Amino acid sequence: MKKWIIIGTGILLIVLWQAIDIYSTVQADRQDGLNRYMQLIPESAVVQETFRYHGEKRFMVFNLEIEDSVYAYFYVSEDGDTYTLNHDELVLTSSEAMEKVRQEFSELTVIHRITPAISGQDFTWEIVAQDSGEDYQYLYYSMTDGEFQKRFTLSN
DSSP letter for 90, please. Answer: -
Which pLDDT value is given to residue 3? 83
96: domain CATH number? 3.10.450.40
Segment 77-101 shows an average pLDDT of 90
User: Which contacts qualify for 101-107: CB closer than 8 Å, 24 or more apart?
Assistant: 101/127, 101/129, 101/139, 101/141, 104/148, 105/129, 105/137, 105/139, 107/131, 107/132
Question: In whole numbers, what is the pLDDT of the chain averaged over residues?
Answer: 86
pLDDT band at 30 (very low <50, low <70, confident <90, very high): low
Segment 37-44 shows an average pLDDT of 79
Per the CB < 8 A criterion, the answer to whether 78 and 59 are in contact is yes
- Examine residue 45 and state whether it is found in any structural domain, yes or no: no
Instruction: Give the domain range for residue 129.
Output: 90-154
Tally the domains of the chain: 2
The pTM of the full predicted model, rounded to 2 decimals, is 0.74
- Examine residue 102 and state whether it is found in any structural domain, yes or no: yes
